[in-house]
Amino acid sequence: DAKTTQPPSMDCAEGRAANLPCNHSTISGNEYVYWYRQIHSQGPQYIIHGLKNNETNEMASLIITEDRKSSTLILPHATLRDTAVYYCIVRVEGSNYQLIWGAGTKLIIKP
Amino acid sequence: NAGVMQNPRHLVRRRGQEARLRCSPMKGHSHVYWYRQLPEEGLKFMVYLQKENIIDESGMPKERFSAEFPKEGPSILRIQQVVRGDSAAYFCASSLGPAKNIQYFGAGTRLSVL
């Protein structure tokens, strides 16, 4: 079973920041938070991952709360091409290779 | 910039036939994972292979399904005597290793069983 909880859907206006929340209240100390997205009819695409510090790359930023029970993925300037289902996954680095997927958040970017 | 390559992209089989799905991992990756996705659901882990070895097949049905990753050539997911319930999207991912465990996914094979 997925160890994360995400809202089923969200809207965001094009050009604005999209903030996608994820709850992982049972996360263990050595479990990382991973984000993937899946654009319709395509394979999942890796976005970012982190343990406890905030992370940023060319695609997004990941903000993890101090107690690590929740996190937020931020797409700073959403475009129509960011419309996708976004999955938040927790896993143990280097051991639990299985990615356990929930239902994700369907993000719709509106013009 | 060769990513994970899966073929065919679409596969149609009649009940009772065999389906063979192929996956070529990213260059330099020796770890392959297969997942299955039903409509409107997240992916479900099936099997994890390293070159010539099955590491974990706990998510794969015990009957009719098999997977291999030979020393040379792509990984193959084989489904014998397909049934309508096997209709799904099958995704392959690869990684440098379990310690370097960002999994990169292919575009998937969509299997339709008539």
Q: What is the pLDDT of residues A1-39, one digit of tens each?
A: 568 999 999 999 999 999 999 999 988 888 889 999 999
**Cβ B86 vs Cβ B103: under 8 Å:** no
Question: Token match 């020393």: residue?
Answer: B71
- Please tell me whether the peptide bond between B74 and the residue prior to it is cis, using omega within 30 degrees of 0: no
> What pLDDT score was predicted for residue A90?
86
Mean pLDDT of chain A: 91
Structure tokens at A5: 């909880």
Q: Is A92 an interface residue toward B (CB < 8 Å)?
A: no
CA A36 from chain centre, in angstroms, equals: 6
Alpha-carbon span B76 to B66, nearest angstrom: 8
Residue type at B17 in one-letter notation: Q
Alpha-carbon span B59 to A15, nearest angstrom: 41
Q: From residue A86, how far is each of A35, B11, B56, B103 by CA, in Å?
A: 7, 27, 26, 16
> What pLDDT score was predicted for residue B3?
92
Mean pLDDT of A53-66: 95
> What pLDDT score was predicted for residue A98?
76
Which residues of chain B fall below pLDDT 50? none
Mean pLDDT of A59-86: 96
More confident: A70 or A41: A70
Question: CA of B73, closest CA in chain A: separation in Å?
Answer: 21
> What pLDDT score was predicted for residue A96?
61
Number of H helices, E strands in chain A: 0, 9
Say yes or no for a CB contact (<8 Å) between B101 and A45.
no
Q: What angle do CA A69, A71, A77 make, to 5 degrees?
A: 170
- Winning range, highest mean pLDDT, from A68-82, A84-98, B96-110: A68-82
> What pLDDT score was predicted for residue A39?
94
Alpha-carbon span A18 to A75, nearest angstrom: 5
Q: Is A21 an interface residue toward B (CB < 8 Å)?
A: no
> What pLDDT score was predicted for residue A21?
97
Alpha-carbon span B102 to A95, nearest angstrom: 12
Q: Band the pLDDT of A53: cuts 50, 70, 90.
A: confident
